[in-house]
């Protein structure tokens, strides 16, 4: 999907020095490419193999909910602290450019047995690993990780013991 790659713009030094930030928002500004991408991601084996999707705030929501619609799968969310009501489970992780925490609603996670994690981009894998740990700790199963972009040199995929798929490998 060459057209897709061309819509991902790189911002050097954002959000801090040394980071090449991949801005995926150009994809949703092109409805044809966005639609093609969602159809491709939705028909992926790891989506079919899982009962539900868990998407990660915030750009993961854009792709996750469109895939949920197309694949007719339920979706739950992992959000940054202070955003979700109810009883929560929390995990902490290191980001390529900082630290963060993610919350999941306990009741929502309990509803389904297996999850595919959906996010915009895989870098070090710390974010997805945080979600996978929360899934495991709550006796649920991660069937895979699916992202739009993967930064190959950070080798994030090798930390996971489940299938990892990405559409654009940079």
Rule CB under 6 A: which residues touch ligand AMP?
19-22, 56, 59, 95-96, 119-127, 156
Closer to ligand AMP by Cβ: residue 33 or 95: 95
Question: CB of residue 125 vs ligand AMP: minimum separation in angstroms?
Answer: 5
Closer to ligand AMP by Cβ: residue 19 or 28: 19
**CA 90 – CA 163 distance, rounded (Å):** 24
Closer to ligand AMP by Cβ: residue 13 or 137: 13
Question: CB of residue 107 vs ligand AMP: minimum separation in angstroms?
Answer: 24
Backbone angles phi, psi at 106, to 5 degrees: -55, -45
Closer to ligand AMP by Cβ: residue 68 or 123: 123
Question: CB of residue 78 vs ligand AMP: minimum separation in angstroms?
Answer: 10
Question: CB of residue 138 vs ligand AMP: minimum separation in angstroms?
Answer: 20
Closer to ligand AMP by Cβ: residue 32 or 144: 144
Question: CB of residue 129 vs ligand AMP: minimum separation in angstroms?
Answer: 7
Q: How many CB atoms lie within 10 A of CB 62?
A: 19
């Amino acid at each position: 999907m060459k057209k897709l790659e061309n819509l991902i713009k790189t911002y050097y030094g954002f959000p801090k020095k040394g980071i090449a930030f991949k801005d995926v928002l150009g994809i949703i500004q092109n409805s044809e490419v966005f639609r093609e991408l969602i159809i491709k991601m939705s028909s992926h084996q790891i989506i079919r193999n899982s009962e539900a999707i868990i998407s990660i705030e915030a750009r993961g929501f854009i792709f996750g909910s469109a895939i949920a619609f197309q694949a007719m799968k339920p979706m739950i969310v992992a959000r940054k602290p202070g955003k979700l009501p109810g009883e929560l489970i929390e995990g902490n992780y290191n980001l390529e450019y900082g630290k963060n925490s993610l919350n999941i609603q306990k009741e929502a996670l309990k509803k389904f047995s297996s999850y595919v994690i959906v996010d915009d981009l895989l870098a070090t894998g710390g974010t997805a690993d945080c979600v996978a740990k929360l899934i495991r700790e709550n006796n649920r199963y991660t069937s895979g990780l699916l992202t739009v972009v993967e930064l190959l040199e950070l080798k994030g995929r090798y930390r996971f013991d489940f299938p990892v798929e990405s559409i654009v490998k940079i």
